[in-house]
Amino acid sequence: MTAAEAPAWLGRRVPRIEDAALLRGRGQFVGDIVRPGMLHARFVRSPVAHGRLLGLEVEAARRAPGVRGVFTAEDFRPHLTSPELAVAMPAGAIRYVVNPRVLAADEVCYAGEAVALVVADTPHAAEDAAALVRLDIELLPPALDPGSALEPGAPRARLGCADNLLARFTVAYGEVAPAFEVAPHVFRDRFHLHKGGGHSVETRGVLAEHDRVDDMLTVWSSAQMPHRNKGVICAALGRAEDRVRVVAPDVGGGFGPKFVCYPEDVAVPLAALLLGRPVRWIEDRRENFAATTAERDQLWDVEVAADAQGRLLGLRGRLLHDHGADTPYGIALPQNSATNLLGPYVLPAYRLEISVALTNKVAATPTRGAGRPQGTFVMERMLDRIADELGIERAEVRRRNLIPPLAMPYRTPLTTRDGAAMIYDSGDYPACMADALRLAGYEDFRARQKAAREAGRHIGIGLSNYVEGTSRGPFETAAISIGPSGQVVLSTGASAQGQGTATVLAQVCAGVLDMDPARITVRTGDTAAIAQGLGAFASRQGPVAGAAVLQAARLVREKALLAASHLLEAAPEDLELVNGAVRIRGIPADRLSLGQVAQVLQGMPGFPLPPGLSPGLSSSVAWQPEALSYANGTHVAEAMVDPETGRITLLRYLVVHDSGRLLNPSLAEGQILGGVVHGIGHALLEETLFDAQGVPATLGYPAYRLPSAPILPWIEIHHRETPTPLNPLGAKGVGEGGTIPAAAAIVAAVEDALRPARIRITQLPITPRRLRTLLAAA
Amino acid sequence: MKPAAFCYHAPRSLPEALAILEQHPEARPLAGGQSLMPQLNARQVTAPHLLDLNRLDGLDGIEEAEGCLRIGAMVRQAALLRSPLLRRHLPVLVEAAVLVGHVATRNRGTLGGSLCQLDPWAELPLVATLLDAELELAAPSGTRRLAFRDFAQGPGRNALRPGELLTHARFPIPAAGTRQAFVEIADRPNDPAEAAAAVSLRLGAAGEVTSAALAVCGPFPMARRLPEGEAMLLGWRPGADPRPLVSGMPLPDAADDDRAAMVRVALRRALERAMA
Amino acid sequence: MSEERFPISVTVNGEPHRLDVPARLSLADLLREGLRLTGTHLGCEHGACGACTVLVDGASARACLMLAVQADGRSITTVEGLERAGRLHPLQQALSERHGLQCGFCTPGVLMTLVELLDASPSPDEAEIRMALAGHHCRCTGYQGMVDAALSLSGGG
């Protein structure tokens, strides 16, 4: 930040500019948007996990009242460049490219896969008609359990693939075998780590409209990555990029599943094109359970080697990952799990063999935390195991293994998804943990625990450290334009699902242009607002889009000063930008508003622009982070366990985190709170279930259990701010750090509460029933 | 999730409702709708005719009659919580009603709806089982009374005959000094309970139990009494450890041992609470 | 099949409406599609998430579990009816100040529940507020800002 800029807006708890509309019920979510002549879509979905689709009888549906169109894969085929969505993400380990299909034909591979689309005058009529579609399906044996799916002779999840091994790869470095040979202590554990879905309160939705006047296809979608969706739509429909616009209006939460581009994202626009009418599809909650991607099961079988002091010597094992029936988002999920296992620790040798199994279930793709909570869980729980086995205090074991601050930047022996070295850029991990332990009263917990036990209460404490690679590239965009009205319009490829993206980006811009952020119009998630963009994933938008905005604002500022120097006949260095206007230092009356400057830069027919200046008071920047920046933190959980019922009550939850410089502490805390509570659900509650035939058994609430207000403790958050050198704002991402260490800390607290019983919790979520089973066996 | 079309009837009076039911015996009565509407929305239930009871007069009162509290079938669960009569005479029903659903679902959900719905984990049928409630079932030919234990036949299955409507439930007012308690074991408040127990105890002059009612739900098709357990409790004195007693009570038909153990925990805690 | 329609008179946010509605139309769909009051959101349509919560004669109800025809003669308050003379309801203000909303999708329903709570018991403690919120899903905030907002108004403060 240069001295000439006003940093006043950064780091402040600036009120959200999003709130005014949302609080009044004036948000514009996809389901709130109505277009003239709009029709309503309903998908017909496979009721079975696996089968041959022998026939599809749609005539009765076509004749049903109010029906305007019924489409099958066959109906769509002439209008699609490919029956599949081109969504593959590269990974050498992938053996089979199994892209999602717009509509299934011939074979259905999970219960919930779309096979037909009914469009009618009302949602009711569409649903009535969809019920009339008859499917003739020959049942095929499903592959459901990822372990048995990889055994020889297992039923194949897809007839087109020779087996169910979608990918096998190894994450490894160091001399693993020798480490285990010399290690005085080796401990082995198997973990069954389930993680649930995104469960945004708003389901997915798509509204498409084709304007025949300009041949423009506009798609409103509750998408986290509208630019990516646009690319997929253009490719699928064979449309030029200037004939498709994708808009993510207000989006009611993302949490991962909404960055997937789904079959519905193509099918609904195609139906709108074919019918010549706007078509809206709003996913219902049962569809959300069946057809929206989620995380699911990972089976870990790991051994850890430690020396007599509890220092890590090596870790090795296998990870079996339940991938689902197709590949909308590559294999990022198990990759993240494998690489995030390291956490903030020095691990001299590591070898993890990862097998990714095709199963007849909806695809597993990242939800908040994106596989990292599982990797963190394994490492943290193995450290607790070492501590318990060796009789060393759990925090002390961590102290002995944490990467020291002097080692920063710390080059891990691993590489990231794109093959670059995984380098922890900054942070003081021991100090962070020390802060957390001090603030949590960790030292005197044993006394409190003893007193509680004497009063008949079983309380325990657990801690967990994490790092998270944030601010993933390759870029994010920002464009600022100011017209004669003086209105500052900030457009970005970032997209917003509740994070306060507009507010934080306006703060960055306002700091440079010295104006109230509330006066800035921020346009997110609209491909018409800016040509390139990526969107929301990997805890990135604040820092990455923020850096783009910072640079774009600086360019506009420089240009405004240069233009004004001609107009005010003063040297640029004698000018300052104050409160959204350029003025001569010391002569506040000699000022030009940004609108006046913009007016001049708009040009007059036949008159030259001021020398050296291009038209327009605007700028456009794509900022490319050179590498991931790593946030870190420590969570401490206190839990009370009722050993009779297995019920777990969280008494206290404390977070110390370091996500670099805070752009808006309230927004950062909001991200952490939501993340922690997501992690609490991961630890204690959330479980997507299937029946023995692979049909979803959780299709609603409370069968699927989300955290609710009464079960939550007050969550305390403390900040550390180690600026990252990789970002001009010094900020790191904060979207997922709340989730990553939560399950490990909570489970450790539960085990601790039950001492001296040696309970070892290796399955998530830890439900009361599972805990009772463990207690009965102890 | 939009319901299939149905014919809608909203009678103003009981005779009118019964006449519609006579004409359309397959009509599905709609009380508070907090269980039925989700099923209709998901098309798990389709009803060609819906008989909306919300406009009926006379089914939303709570009164004292013949040693009972006579509660209209359309009394909202929220109204149970607010009723001074209930608070005075049947606090155990109030204790149970707090645990039904959420504020907004209690504002709509009714006593009668819950007693007819008979979800295996439901709190209000558990109390009706405990207290031997009696139901008034109206038909065009007249009203009959039926013990709740004969009415409840299984999850979602009740003894209403075609053309009948539940109009009132009568809960006997316990004798003065009766100790009652309701304990539920659920992961989150308002979740379907893993196990719940309700107890009603009368004590003799020396403080010993002279009559006992125990009702439990959870790992059973529906709420049930424990007659053996009730017999075992006779003569039990407060202050004595209830554990041996409870652990020896037969729990026939429990789905599995683990949940049976939860029923025992709920029972013991209810006994402790009743005697506290 | 043309569905039978029923005439209803309903007051929404103080404004009387006479409408003809098909029997199976939910109150939520009437508000959203019929009256274009889209602040009332649908998150699950089975009464679990609370996003569609409105006040019916002052008492909270799931608009997805109530038929529009059942609103005949009733007075409905939705989030759009909380503002008075251009001023936000104190709870709306508090929710913003305490960062009690993020994506805003659950917010209208939460507001209605908290309005009902504070009307009924002006000084709720944290446990009572959390219990009142038990019927709402929020995936963004962890509920803490909502609790904080309601606490800030508890006791008439």
Nearest Cβ partner of A32 from C38, C99, C140? C38
Instruction: Verify whether the Cβ–Cβ distance C41 to A202 is below 8 Å.
Output: yes
Fold adopted by B62-172: 3.30.465
pLDDT at C157: 44
Chain B, nearest residue to A774 by Cα:
B258
pLDDT at A5: 54
Query: Percentage of chain A surpassing pLDDT 90?
Result: 95
Q: What is the mean pLDDT of residues A44-73?
A: 98
Interface size, chain B vs chain C, as Cβ–Cβ contacts under 8 Å: 86
Q: What is the mean pLDDT of residues B235-247?
A: 90
Min Cα separation A38/chain C (Å): 12
Q: In this model, does residue A4 exceed pLDDT 50?
A: no
Q: What is the mean pLDDT of residues C63-76?
A: 98
pLDDT tens, residue by residue, A638-668: 999 999 999 999 999 999 999 999 999 999 9
pLDDT tens, residue by residue, A135-155: 999 999 999 999 999 999 999
Q: Tell the residue number behind the tokens 């997501």, with chain if given.
A: A678
Instruction: Verify whether the Cβ–Cβ distance A711 to B188 is below 8 Å.
Output: yes
pLDDT tens, residue by residue, A320-364: 999 999 999 999 999 999 999 999 999 999 999 999 999 999 999
- Which one is the CATH code of A7-27+473-623: 3.20.20.70, 3.40.50.1370, 3.30.365.10, 3.90.1150.10? 3.30.365.10
Min Cα separation C48/chain B (Å): 9
Most C CBs within 10 Å, among A17, A23, A29, A289, to test the C interface = A23
Chain B, nearest residue to C62 by Cα:
B104
Instruction: Verify whether the Cβ–Cβ distance A286 to B42 is below 8 Å.
Output: yes
Q: Which residues contact B257 (CB under 8 A, 6 or more apart)?
A: none
Q: What is the mean pLDDT of residues A594-613?
A: 93
Q: What is the mean pLDDT of residues A573-578?
A: 93
Judged by a CB distance cut-off of 8 A, whether residue A318 touches chain B is: no
Instruction: Verify whether the Cβ–Cβ distance A709 to C133 is below 8 Å.
Output: yes
Secondary structure class of B249 (helix, strand, coil): coil
Instruction: Verify whether the Cβ–Cβ distance B261 to A772 is below 8 Å.
Output: yes
Instruction: Verify whether the Cβ–Cβ distance C45 to B1 is below 8 Å.
Output: yes
Instruction: Give the integer Cα–Cα distance in Å for A412 and A737.
Output: 20
Instruction: Write down the domain spans for chain A.
Output: 7-27+473-623
Instruction: Verify whether the Cβ–Cβ distance B41 to C4 is below 8 Å.
Output: no
Instruction: Give the integer Cα–Cα distance in Å for A675 and A658.
Output: 15
Instruction: Give the integer Cα–Cα distance in Å for B89 and A91.
Output: 70
Q: Tell the residue number behind the tokens 């409160």, with chain if given.
A: A579
pLDDT tens, residue by residue, A388-429: 999 999 999 999 999 999 999 999 999 887 788 999 999 999
Q: Which residues contact A610 (CB under 8 A, 6 or more apart)?
A: A562, A563, A566, A567, A600, A601
pLDDT tens, residue by residue, B103-134: 999 999 999 999 999 999 999 999 999 999 99
Residue A108: how many CA atoms within 13 Å on its side-chain side? 29
Residues of B in contact with C62 (CB under 8 A): 34, 104-105, 108
Other Cβ atoms closer than 10 A to B84: 8
Judged by a CB distance cut-off of 8 A, whether residue A485 touches chain B is: no
Judged by a CB distance cut-off of 8 A, whether residue A769 touches chain B is: yes
Local confidence band at A7 (pLDDT 50, 70, 90 cut-offs): low
Instruction: Verify whether the Cβ–Cβ distance B187 to A124 is below 8 Å.
Output: no
Which of 109-128 (C) contact A at CB < 8 A?
Answer: 111, 126-127
* C109 Ramachandran zone, left/alpha/beta (phi>0; psi -120 to 50): alpha
Nearest Cβ partner of B104 from C29, C53, C70? C53
Nearest Cβ partner of A284 from B1, B192, B194? B1
Q: What domains sit in chain C, N to C, each tagged with a CATH number?
A: 5-80 (3.10.20.30), 90-156 (1.10.150.120)
pLDDT at B236: 92
pLDDT tens, residue by residue, A251-310: 999 999 999 999 999 999 999 999 999 999 999 999 999 999 999 999 999 999 999 999
Fold adopted by B179-275: Enolase-like; domain 1 (3.30.390)
Instruction: Verify whether the Cβ–Cβ distance B194 to A768 is below 8 Å.
Output: yes
Instruction: Verify whether the Cβ–Cβ distance C134 to B78 is below 8 Å.
Output: no
Instruction: Write down the domain spans for chain B.
Output: 7-52, 62-172, 179-275
Nearest Cβ partner of A769 from B5, B190, B258? B258
Residues of C in contact with A281 (CB under 8 A): none
Instruction: Concatenate the DSSP letters of all residues of A523-548 into one string.
Output: E-SBTTT-S----S-SS-IIIIIHHH
Nearest Cβ partner of B104 from C22, C46, C61? C61
Q: In this model, does residue A246 exceed pLDDT 70?
A: yes
Q: In this model, does residue A6 exceed pLDDT 80?
A: no
Question: Dihedral of CA B237/B240/B241/B247: which sign?
Answer: negative
For A156-165, b/e burial (b = at least 16 CB within 10 A) is bbbeeeebbb
Instruction: Concatenate the DSSP letters of all residues of A209-228 into one string.
Output: EEETTTTEEEEEE--S-HHH
pLDDT tens, residue by residue, A93-133: 999 999 999 999 999 999 999 999 999 999 999 999 999 99
The CATH class for the domain spanning B7-52 reads alpha beta
Q: In this model, does residue C156 exceed pLDDT 80?
A: no
Min Cα separation A58/chain B (Å): 19
Residues of A in contact with C140 (CB under 8 A): 253, 498, 670, 674
Min Cα separation B185/chain A (Å): 8
Local confidence band at A545 (pLDDT 50, 70, 90 cut-offs): very high
Min Cα separation B20/chain A (Å): 26
Q: In this model, does residue A3 exceed pLDDT 50?
A: no
pLDDT tens, residue by residue, B26-42: 999 999 999 999 999 99
pLDDT tens, residue by residue, B185-209: 998 887 899 999 999 999 999 889 9
